[in-house]
Amino acid sequence: MALIKKLTLFLLCNIFAVIALAQQDTLYNTSVPQKGEGLYAFLIRNKLDPQKHKQSFIELNKEKLGKNNALLLGVKYKIPSVDVYLYEPLYGKEREKFKLESEDLKGAVFHLVSGHGGPDPGALGKYGDKTLAEDEYAYDITLRLAKKLQENGAIVNMIIQDKDDGIRGESYLPMDKDEVCNNQVIGLEQIDRLKQRTKYINQLFIKNKPAYQRCVIIHVDSRSKGKAIDVFFYHSAKSKSGKKTAQSLLNIFDEKYSKHQPSRGYSGVISSRNLYLLRKTYPTAVFIELGNIRNFRDQQRFIIENNRQALANWLYEGLLNDYKGY
């Protein structure tokens, strides 16, 4: 009986050891050296900085390394985890710290402009006893897009900022007037507001030359109350790159609607418009109308948080495709 107990205990200990080892191995990606590859080249190929990560790699794999920490052919080595976290308080307390997911957009610079703000709420829609303000919903979607772009390696400049809103999960986003542009109060006159934004964007463009740069202007269109609209994309008539960026965005929306709502169809369009920001800003610019804040069906696009996130995700995918084709 004592022998059986000892044997059982031995087997259990070995099983747990195997489980623990398996769990340990799953924490790491692995890679096998190529013929003639030294440690530095191996680390660089696996997206590690030799100066920063050489020692952690050696500690992790010391039992598998040869003389003087040489790599051995045919041996599978663990790759240290090198998660990078970013910080942006504009996204709110719950989201201000976030992980860098990829470097797909490394080298790209985006200037994001949410429509209206400050003394100008933009278009207003009624939803039950609530008033929906264009600037609040445009701002929330723009913030979500900004975070998605940053998560994937881009530099993002939020041209309009509200220090205390953050990304919000509520359906109803109450109005306020404390948005600023370049830390300055937003003016009362429309032309002053447009000039203020344009000046700031152009300063940032010059600062970031010669990088790939795009200015993305996001609005919630207001047409007749009964008219629902799809997402429309506008560019300057003289901008071939603006038309190309708009096409990249439209292609994604067409693809997503075909997949998720095949019976609905998608009637969004690209066209040129003689809008101040499209004409006067230095970087390639696209102006996006996300829907009609006064139409009940379109309002679902904005009041449901998941829909706001989906819009941001689709815009991100379109901009990523544009960058890849740059």
- Domain around 54: 28-82
Tell me the whole-structure pTM to 2 decimals.
0.78
In a domain, 9, yes or no: no
- Is the dihedral angle over the CA atoms 259, 260, 263, 266 positive or is it negative? negative
Distance CA 247, CA 271 (A): 10
In a domain, 5, yes or no: no
Cis peptide bond upstream of 121, omega within 30: no
In a domain, 17, yes or no: no
- Decide if pLDDT at 3 tops 60: no
Q: What's the average model confidence in pLDDT over 24-32?
A: 68
Indicate if 104 and 178 belong to the same structural domain. yes
How many Cβ atoms sit within 10 Å of the Cβ of residue 85?
Answer: 8
Q: What's the average model confidence in pLDDT over 155-159?
A: 99
* CATH at 188: 3.40.630.40
In a domain, 18, yes or no: no
Got the DSSP string for 76-130?
-EEEPP---EEE-GGG-TTTSEEE----TTTTEEEEEEES-BTTB--SEEEETTE
Q: Which of 56, 82, 108 is the C-terminal boundary of a domain?
A: 82
Indicate if 123 and 239 belong to the same structural domain. yes
Q: Which of 82, 111, 126 is the C-terminal boundary of a domain?
A: 82
In a domain, 4, yes or no: no
The residue assigned the tokens 């300063």 is 203
Reported in sequence order, the residue ranges of 128-194 that DSSP labels E, i.e. its strands, are 130-133, 155-158, 160-161, 180-181, 184-185
pLDDT, tens only, 86-108: 999 999 999 999 999 999 999 99
CB 215 within 8 A of CB 280: no
Indicate if 75 and 96 belong to the same structural domain. no
In a domain, 7, yes or no: no
Indicate if 73 and 135 belong to the same structural domain. no
CA 7: distance to chain centroid? 55
Q: Domain tally for the chain?
A: 2
pLDDT at 263: 73
Residue of higher predicted confidence among 159 and 263: 159
In a domain, 211, yes or no: yes
Indicate if 69 and 109 belong to the same structural domain. no
Q: What's the average model confidence in pLDDT over 163-171?
A: 97
Indicate if 69 and 192 belong to the same structural domain. no
Q: Which of 57, 82, 107 is the C-terminal boundary of a domain?
A: 82
Indicate if 204 and 154 belong to the same structural domain. yes
Indicate if 70 and 143 belong to the same structural domain. no
Indicate if 102 and 46 belong to the same structural domain. no
- Decide if pLDDT at 5 tops 60: no
Indicate if 46 and 150 belong to the same structural domain. no
pLDDT, tens only, 129-156: 999 999 999 999 999 999 999 999 999 9
Indicate if 94 and 57 belong to the same structural domain. no
> Please, which pLDDT band fits residue 225 given cuts at 50, 70 and 90?
low
- Decide if pLDDT at 204 tops 80: yes
Question: Buried b / exposed e across 198-222, counting CB within 10 Å, b at 16+?
Answer: bebbbebbeebeeebbbbbbbbbbb
pLDDT at 222: 61
Indicate if 316 and 297 belong to the same structural domain. yes
